[in-house]
Chain A
């Protein structure tokens, strides 16, 4: 299994509070992704990174920001959490864009009350 971890694995928070989720990899892969998974939807891309300090928006980026100061860490921040951000968040990594398997982290379950 690819060395990819997410923390925390579960979090309950209140509306309006900031939340940061961490994705950590030991594979030295260049590309990192944050997805969210909701009932009735497929996984949807929030943000992605193609290198240290290189990030871009995905399909559902509103209300989220990211940072990547080191190859191994990709942080997802909800500046002011809302109930619509209750979801399961998955991080994924890949070494080459497009023609390479993506490896997924175990997921973080976030509940915003």
Chain B
């Protein structure tokens, strides 16, 4: 069973700061997902990646397959970025769902 660890668990920062959230996993994967869960509870997929780096707006996700590690970066953070960010991995490329980290609770203060 893949173990997914996220750090930090909680993060409070000021508006405009550069944010980094880390994710490590124990077993090789076929893909890694970053998800965002807003205070209202809805879950939205931000990125799916299996190598390298992806960028969408102010969000950047990177993955190092050899190190079994991924990072999610937020540039020029804004209070609307406040949410729980969840890392999830697909270990086998099969149909049996994802294994999730416990999430990082991010608060951006104005």
User: How far, in Å, is A87 (CB) from chain B's closest CB?
Assistant: 12
Asked whether A42 lies within 8 Å of B90 as measured between CB atoms, the reply is no
Complex CA–CA separation, A88 to B40 (angstroms) = 12
Chain B residues with CB under 8 Å of chain A are 1, 4, 30-31, 33, 35, 41-45, 48, 50, 86, 88, 90, 92-103
Complex CA–CA separation, A97 to B91 (angstroms) = 11
User: Is A104 an interface residue, CB under 8 A from the partner?
Assistant: yes
How many of A's residues come within 8 Å of B, CB to CB?
A: 27
- Closest Cβ neighbor of A90 among chain B residues: B43
User: Is A15 an interface residue, CB under 8 A from the partner?
Assistant: no
Asked whether A102 lies within 8 Å of B98 as measured between CB atoms, the reply is yes
Contact with B along A81-97 (1 / 0, CB 8 A): 00000001010100001
Interface centre among B30, B35, B41, B86 (most CB of A within 10 A): B41
Asked whether A58 lies within 8 Å of B97 as measured between CB atoms, the reply is yes
Residues of B close to A102: CB separation below 8 A: 33, 45, 98
Asked whether B96 lies within 8 Å of A107 as measured between CB atoms, the reply is no
